[in-house]
Amino acid sequence: MELIVARDREDLVKARRGGEVALVPTMGALHEGHRSLIRQARVRADQVVVSIFVNPLQFGPNEDFSRYPRTFEADLDVCRAEGVDVVFHPDVEEMYAPDRQVSVSAGPMGEVVEGAHRPGHFDGVLTVVLKLFNLVRPDLAVFGQKDAQQLALIRRMVADLDLPIEILGAPTVREPDGLALSSRNRYLSDDDRRVALALSRALRAGAAELAPAAIRATAREVLAAAGPRLEVDYLALVDPETFADVDESYEGMAVLAVAARVGATRLIDNVTLTLTRGR
């Protein structure tokens, strides 16, 4: 079937057909990581909807909203190649009324780790995701594990608000050199990229350790060795459901997460590991 591009609510209603619907929310500039999300959706659903919307609510005043890459025609080619049924591509006015007053609060989990460095970011994320859920009415939605805190908060929102949507998490896709795929990678020069590889090296090194203190210390050593061009915002070892820091007595799944700037580009990455006292 021909790819349908829906730009408003009426177009979405016309595009919807029977069967299970999967939504893959994106901000465009699609890459292999997005393709992996679409493929997971395609396996599960009768109809796959990809949203392409650069959401102003999740950008702070000094962040890169205006220069965030917008490659709509290339994104459509990706969607056609992956068998997407509908692309929802609204403008800001379609998504947000000028007198908008109500937003979703991410609560305490939205104020730690990534949220501590980007106040209000997760409120903006959850607000747009809830609106997309209400507009598209999917049975399931697919998000990437690279944005681990975002994924945890979306799952919490779905549970707390009793939304009848299954949330699937897809593994992080990496480039051959280990750099996590991101639409922002295109901002990196060759020298920037070499510096940025310290993020994935630090995560691998930390994950090879046994205890939380050693995990953190080893990862920090790798980040420090990258030199002053790598400006680290945080390195955190947290519970994957609450994003609270774990202590030496913690057992179970944990997320080792990092965020740093290389020049004007801010990157995030994480790995999931299992902690046991005898590990």
**How do residues 29-80 score in pLDDT, each as one tens digit?**
999 999 999 999 999 999 999 999 999 999 998 898 998 999 999 999 999 9
Domain ranges of the chain: 4-170, 185-269
What is the reported pLDDT for 18? 85
Give the residue numbers marked as catalytic: 34
Task: Detail the residues annotated as belonging to a binding site for (R)-pantoate.
Answer: 58, 150
Using a 10 angstrom Cβ sphere, with 0-12 exposed, 13-18 middle and 19 or more buried, the burial of residue 121 is: buried
From CA 202, how far away is CA 204, in angstroms rounded? Answer: 5
**pTM beyond cutoff 0.85:** yes
SS3 146: helix
Res. 1 pLDDT band, cuts 50 70 90 = confident
Task: Detail the residues annotated as belonging to a binding site for beta-alanine.
Answer: 58
CATH code for the structural domain at 185-269: 3.30.1300.10
Task: Detail the residues annotated as belonging to a binding site for ATP.
Answer: 27-34, 144-147, 173, 181-184
Question: At 140, which amino acid appears?
Answer: L
From CA 229, how far away is CA 224, in angstroms rounded? Answer: 10
Domain 4-170 has CATH 3.40.1260.10: no
What is the reported pLDDT for 278? 55
Distance (Å) of CA 142 to CA 122, 177, 196, 205, 240:
17, 25, 27, 29, 17
- Which helix (H) or strand (E) covers residue 223, if one does? helix 212-225
Per-residue model confidence as pLDDT tens digits over 93-136: 999 999 999 999 999 999 999 999 999 999 999 999 999 999 99
Query: In the beta sheet, which residues pair with residue 50?
Result: 24, 87
From CA 231, how far away is CA 267, in angstroms rounded? Answer: 10
